[in-house]
Structure 1
């Protein structure tokens, strides 16, 4: 059959139209200012591969949140009735219309189902695409940004989407996220240890009525060990079991590796019963655990967390990828999104460890609000499945996480250039337990203990009594305009945070920071889980409603810290006081009393 020229042209144009992306009105989805400390460098290489993560709105998160409040409330008849992995996924699955809209948009840009990775619930979509394609998809321009500390990120300060997609996409990253996610370790407290002086070794024990046996070794005033912590927090003589199904874990990022040989030296010195035991390593995104490069943060976390909890099965999550990305060395992949990779993994794990400790965070203001809220919802999902998450509250007092007061800026990044106290994220998420720091015996607040009030998250219901009580104690006008009195307050609790004896590369050192407090508190949470599981009960899961209920009505369950403060931003910071305070929360744990309380719960 002969086809006329006119018909051929019409058919050819129709084919071209079908193959080309549809024409949609593109509207800016998100913009950001470049945070202080970052400098824009060259344009990002167009062939650089980026794992583009697309957050699709969760259809019924309010229902999941309601479940979480009920199963975490010790006064609710549903307490401890955690949801299954499948039940959680069903509640957060996105609406089919949103999934279809996003899939159609990806298809318009030549991406097929084979190119797409989805979370089990379908609320996250990930595609690996080169910068050049991302710029076309998002109407954006990516550059390499360098921080004053030498770290670099590939980012854009603005991106857009077809207008019809805005209702179906919460956000896309990496785009405007300038968080560095660094360890909460006060490195200026890192010093090689010296043996206790003979006078100290022979000194009488320190009287601490709440401690095991009513006293603590005098050496604990300068050298914190597992024995010191068990004495101080009333856990001497409690031995957990290895075969109950209880698990505990620490997270590692930025090429912080945990040494097996250093762990054995630590066990030989502090936990002889644990010698020849170890921990499992789970690699995420190619994470390594290089035994020739032990890290102080990773060794601190694993030695103390797993020393307190031995013989509970232990896991070290090592997640690959770290800044800086250096585009001139031939790298074709952007690998500086390790935290998102860990979150992807743990949310996709049907039976994660019941207690997970993390000692990394960043300034809350460097995290886009929509990203912070969605990540926080991910923590809620873990809580609903029975996981307790502890995060160190930071080492900058009320400041920006910088442990050196001389270099703290405490200036907002939103264009106002206003002086404010700057909390950290993820500790500011209400669905995690933020752990502040203490020092010495008897305990006092350590001066670098991070604390304050979120500028992103409102005060949660579990803080409705304790936090206003603290605010009422402040003199009128105290720090007016420097903090958000209606925000989620941190920390929730505290633990020792300085003079921890750890082994690194075969040598013994002191390390300080709330990086030590988070695994310490998590260790005692894992012991409480052991007690509950042995009694045929569920794990504790999301802790905060229980902590605030106990803190308000059970005298002695937490050791109330009433001295010390957390200076920063050119101020003396908040004071530790009776009851909850934004330096040490409700205080440090009394394991013996807490064990009796949690065993009395359903």
Structure 2
């Protein structure tokens, strides 16, 4: 009792010493050089509204990550024993002193409790304020910045400060230095007026020993459909048995809408059993799902048609999240433009009924995301993994370059003011707590030349990757691309799947699309089927996949089809080569569902010995 009382008195003393005052000195919290490719146009309108997100320090986040690795490690006795929502929130809750100091700071600027929104873990505090007040609070100046290539505009600053007494209690404040544009990962869109012209080509079959029945229809070499993927990845004939419990979801941003009529046409043509099915829509942060045919999004249609077509009758959910940071503000525009990805994370981390598998086909260059923000978001993915959710991301469409699928127009320079030539990793694919999915093409499969892959400059290589990545680096001739990448960084992609010539329906017509936007919902579909098999047999969902994936690959199981041909050029180079085992183009390769199902339903130690 005496110890508890002493601790309470100490907290009171600390708070008293740190009480805010109007004259309290500020220190720079974060500062970046003017970002490449952006032009500072003019001061931001003083009355423009910004939603500031204040990230309080999470003193126990390292414990969260330790729990995640234990419940995801197939060698650990806790494997599959995922945490509850309450347990996760307890691990990311800030210290009460941090919360109190931030509240006092806000009160000193006449921001009342009614104006504050907090996440369930209390680690994010959100307030809506005019630019003029944000500038005063952060001792900064906001400007309108325009992206020279696209014309998109943002209200941002390149430096901000906090009172001295908050420096050890606040991790970051955004939007300030975040210049990410958050784009979809699709490279091409080809028009075809007749569906039969797409699908009825290349008669005959192709021998693929790992496929269902040992062969795949030859038409799949020019047009990929759900039946092609089920055959190629050895899942033909599998009937989901836990559709009442197992769920799959895809995310939509930037006014990408999933069209119901296109979904029905796709199913009628390519998944007849699902002809009368539909998907659920969850609206986040004012998101919409406009059903005007001309408003349909090729990205959203692709994601829903393949993730849900492959897994029917597993319930599918489309998250449509409002907010689009790029805009053209003027003095009369006071609308708040939130960061859509952060809003989605807030929503799902507050949910009590999460899908077991979620695919996202959006991202940006890692260097456009401040390190503080990237690490914060990455730990949010760790929360989802600890809850038993498998999170998959497209690895990107620029090879080792900056996301531009045309290597000739890529700009491969650092964004830190030095303009150093370098490979450009993508984010969130570079987060070690997500599964990044690269791309393949053709049958037999080779690496798609746009498949994003490489090494993070922010995140160190996790231990689950050590053996596989060391083996890959040993295959590179001495000095290969020296200085262009970080060989000690988190390496990606982790796996891959087909990513070219996918037939989708868009605006009531058949089209072919390509990109790792295709591979992520595809791989997610097979993960969902594995989750179905486990749940139907009374087992937990797979959750965070990477420790299991790397354990299987390192131990030489045949759960993946190794891709050994192709490369991912970019930045004026040929990029990395696909090779035996893990590589920085296709990861461990593409899934063999039949083998993986046998593994995840059996005694894992039998396969990992």
Same fold (TM over 0.5): yes
Per-residue CA deviation, residues 161-210 of structure 1 (Å, 9 max, x unaligned), is: 111110010000000000001001113x5443765679974632100000
User: CA shift at 1:340, angstroms?
Assistant: 1.3
**Are 1:553 and 2:552 an aligned pair?**
no
Q: Is the 8 A contact 2:144 2:156 kept in 1?
A: yes
- Distance across 2 between alignment mates of 1:61 and 1:198: 50
Q: Is the 8 A contact 1:242 1:313 kept in 2?
A: no
- Distance across 2 between alignment mates of 1:478 and 1:336: 42
Query: CA 1:396/1:199 → structure 2, altered by over 3 Å: closer, same or farther?
Result: closer
Q: Which residue is 1:328 aligned to?
A: 330
Per-residue CA deviation, residues 191-246 of structure 1 (Å, 9 max, x unaligned), is: 43765679974632100000000000000000000000000000000011364311
The one of 441, 447, 450 aligned to 1:448: 450
Q: Which residue is 1:290 aligned to?
A: 290
Q: Which residue is 1:28 aligned to?
A: 28
* Superposition TM-score, scaled by structure 1 size: 0.95
SS of aligned partner of 1:170: strand
**Unpaired segments ≥5 residues, structure 1:** 1-18
**Are 1:130 and 2:126 an aligned pair?**
no
Q: Is the 8 A contact 1:152 1:325 kept in 2?
A: yes
SS of aligned partner of 1:361: strand
Per-residue CA deviation, residues 480-528 of structure 1 (Å, 9 max, x unaligned), is: 1111000000100000001000000000000000000000000000000
SS of aligned partner of 1:100: helix
Q: Is the 8 A contact 1:74 1:601 kept in 2?
A: no
- Distance across 1 between alignment mates of 2:172 and 2:236: 49
Q: Which residue is 1:182 aligned to?
A: 183
**Are 1:156 and 2:163 an aligned pair?**
no
Matches within 5 A, 1:514-533: 514-533=516-535
Q: Is the 8 A contact 1:470 1:581 kept in 2?
A: yes
SS of aligned partner of 2:437: strand
Q: Which residue is 1:228 aligned to?
A: 228
Query: CA 1:419/1:283 → structure 2, altered by over 3 Å: closer, same or farther?
Result: same
- Distance across 2 between alignment mates of 1:177 and 1:327: 17
Residues 315-324 or 559-568, more deviating: 315-324
Matches within 5 A, 1:192-203: 192=192, 201=201, 203=203
- Distance across 2 between alignment mates of 1:526 and 1:243: 10
**Are 1:439 and 2:441 an aligned pair?**
yes
- Distance across 2 between alignment mates of 1:601 and 1:252: 37
Q: Is the 8 A contact 2:198 2:223 kept in 1?
A: no
Residues 28-37 or 79-88, more deviating: 28-37
Matches within 5 A, 1:102-117: 102-117=102-117
Q: Which residue is 1:209 aligned to?
A: 209
- Distance across 2 between alignment mates of 1:262 and 1:329: 40
- Distance across 2 between alignment mates of 1:414 and 1:407: 20
- Distance across 2 between alignment mates of 1:392 and 1:202: 29
User: CA shift at 1:331, angstroms?
Assistant: 2.5
Matches within 5 A, 1:67-146: 67-146=67-146
- Distance across 2 between alignment mates of 1:331 and 1:354: 40
**Unpaired segments ≥5 residues, structure 2:** 1-18, 605-609
The count of corresponding residues between Structure 1 and Structure 2 is 583
Q: Is the 8 A contact 1:392 1:435 kept in 2?
A: yes
User: CA shift at 1:343, angstroms?
Assistant: 1.4
- Distance across 2 between alignment mates of 1:114 and 1:250: 33
- Distance across 2 between alignment mates of 1:244 and 1:209: 34
Q: Is the 8 A contact 1:88 1:384 kept in 2?
A: yes
**Are 1:48 and 2:48 an aligned pair?**
yes
Per-residue CA deviation, residues 138-170 of structure 1 (Å, 9 max, x unaligned), is: 001001111120111110111101111100100
Matches within 5 A, 1:197-596: 201=201, 203-241=203-241, 243-292=243-292, 293-328=295-330, 330-596=332-598
Residues 234-243 or 134-143, more deviating: 234-243
SS of aligned partner of 2:168: helix
Query: CA 1:32/1:601 → structure 2, altered by over 3 Å: closer, same or farther?
Result: farther
- Distance across 2 between alignment mates of 1:40 and 1:116: 31
Per-residue CA deviation, residues 374-433 of structure 1 (Å, 9 max, x unaligned), is: 100000000000000000000000001111112101000111111100010000000000
Query: CA 1:126/1:202 → structure 2, altered by over 3 Å: closer, same or farther?
Result: closer
Q: Is the 8 A contact 1:325 1:334 kept in 2?
A: no
User: CA shift at 1:330, angstroms?
Assistant: 3.2
User: CA shift at 1:22, angstroms?
Assistant: 3.0
Per-residue CA deviation, residues 280-330 of structure 1 (Å, 9 max, x unaligned), is: 111111100011110000000000000001111110000112143222383
Q: Is the 8 A contact 2:181 2:326 kept in 1?
A: no
Per-residue CA deviation, residues 88-147 of structure 1 (Å, 9 max, x unaligned), is: 001111101111111110110001111110111111100111111101100010011111
Q: Is the 8 A contact 2:192 2:198 kept in 1?
A: no
Aligned-residue CA RMSD (Å): 1.6
